[in-house]
Amino acid sequence: MKDKKFGRDLTVGSIPKHLINFSLPMLLGNMLQSSYSIINMIWVGHIVGAEGLGATAVSFPIMFILIGIAAGVSMATAVLVAQFYGAKKLGQLKMVVDNSVCLQLVLSTVLITCMILSTNPLLRLMDTPPEIFSMASSYLKISLSGIIFLYLSFTISQILRGLGDSIRPLMFMGTGVVLNAILDPFLIMGIFPFPKLGLNGAALASVISQAISLTIALTYLNRKSHLVSIQFRRLRFDRHITWLIARIGFPSTIEQCLISVGSAFVTKYVNFFGPAAIAAFGAGSRIDMVAMMPAIAIGMAATALTGQNLGARKPERVKEVFKWALLLGTMISGIVAVFAFTFPRTILSMFTHSEPVLIIGIQYLRTVAPCYFLFALIFVSMGVVNGAGQTIVPMIFTLISLWVVRVPIAWYLSRNTPLKVTGIWIAMAAGFMVTAMIGYLYYLTGRWKKAALKIHSFKEPMQTAATEV
């Protein structure tokens, strides 16, 4: 059953069909986002130079920390929306939406202020090379100013996906990506009537496009009188729902922050080997994201299907969700793995023609690309567990794979063996393998089924407990 106004019922019908119909728009959206990121890197690499590539790569872990914080609240929102929608409890669903928006507004405002003031100390902490420090600082500060638009956009997309609607998030994201791609060359090169801003122009283009995309999303929801229409003057805050969001979202937030901080440490180790290494790392990481996108999209589809089916008390369908999601994800990410391993120079040449950067980048892809086959297993396993509301488990697994495997091995191999920077690439591959192994083993235990949220006992909205914000 598909409710044209609210979303899609994922508790009945063909699971492979649901996975394809749900994940395909997300995959297209993720590919759009990745395409933009790649196009942005191409513009920066060929116009600003290798220093520009290095500056964006250094800035990425810091932005990723903030994205991770938003992802925690968004993940909790998607899980609760999916389960309440599966249980047909629309009053509680609306309360989740209002409280999630309130939380994101508060978080983004506080974080923008704190992070802009902390930009330079953070870049120094990461041993950012002096040649790119000033460029990275200004790029990062401009990017940080758009966090509020990014947070609210994440929330709206996850709400709609929890309802089974992955088409509208694709439309909103696609609009932002197209605007970003158009604005990039104008602001970087200073094409009339815009000033020439160099790397800062790329950051400003992102902020402008995020703001416009969010405006379009809000306009659509409110004009269509959608179930999840968002009117800021009517938002209501409820302590019970907020606690539920926090309980589910906090582990996911910690997980994403652990990933981000781990990425910052790895970047710090790469910085030790100079601008060419960090530029190669930045380019190679974009290829990683291309390989991850299908697995992430299908993993998010698995989260929505798991959440709705557990909410509808149909846990038997989740096994089929896992099987089909793993098959689809592995096939797509595997194709990227083959191309990245076989033609690394051709792929990296899109970003730069600097031979030192290409040599290091080829080593990176030849080491990491085989692990792309594991991405589906990682994200589908975690997607099912998250859909059950047991977000603390992926956090623990991330803690192990990053801080027991990737970060210490990267430090040891790069500083104490002849492998040097290649040791960091080996550590990254090891981290992927450990995450895939422990995620799959936990899925097989079936313990996540017992941890599914007891939403059927959740009371009707308590208006007396709500206060205006």
Distance CA 44, CA 21 (A): 35
Beta-bridge partners for 8: 2
Choose from 38-52, 154-168, 224-238, 326-340 the range with maximum mean pLDDT. Answer: 326-340
Cβ neighbours of residue 75 under 8 Å, at least 6 residues apart? Answer: 158, 248, 249, 252, 303, 386, 391
Residue 223: which residues within 8 A CB-CB, separation 6 or more?
none
For 441, other C-beta atoms within 10 Å of its C-beta total 11
Q: Which residue in this structure is represented by tokens 């970060």?
A: 407
3-state percent helix, strand, coil for the chain, nearest multiple of 5:
80, 0, 15
CA distance 3 to 163: 9
Query: How many angstroms separate the CA atoms of 116 and 403, rounded?
Result: 27
State how far the Cα of 320 lies from the Cα of 12, in Å rounded to an integer. Answer: 12
pLDDT at 36: 64
355 vs 74, which has greater pLDDT?
355
pLDDT (mean) for 419-436: 93
**What is the percent of the chain where pLDDT is above 70?**
91
Question: Which pLDDT tens digit goes with each residue over 17-74?
Answer: 888 887 787 777 767 766 666 667 777 777 777 778 778 878 877 787 787 777 777 8
d(CA 70, CA 358): 34
Q: Give the pLDDT of residue 459.
A: 53
- Sorting pLDDT into bands at 50, 70 and 90, what band is 1? very low
Q: Which residues neighbour 245 within 8 Å (Cβ) at sequence distance 6 or greater?
A: 73, 76, 77, 80, 96, 99, 100, 103
Q: pLDDT tens digits for 73-128?
A: 787 888 788 778 777 777 778 888 888 888 888 888 898 898 899 889 988 887 88
Tell me the C-alpha distance between 455 and 439, whole Å: 25
Q: Give the rounded percent of residues in the chain with a pLDDT score beyond 90.
A: 19
CA distances from residue 48 to 42, 51, 132, 202, 276 in whole angstroms, order as listed: 10, 7, 11, 10, 14
Cα–Cα distance, 39 to 44 (Å, whole number): 9
Average pLDDT score, the chain: 82
**Residue 139 vs residue 244, higher pLDDT:** 139
Per residue in 249-299, pLDDT (tens digit) is 777 777 777 777 787 788 889 988 988 898 889 888 888 988 888 888 888
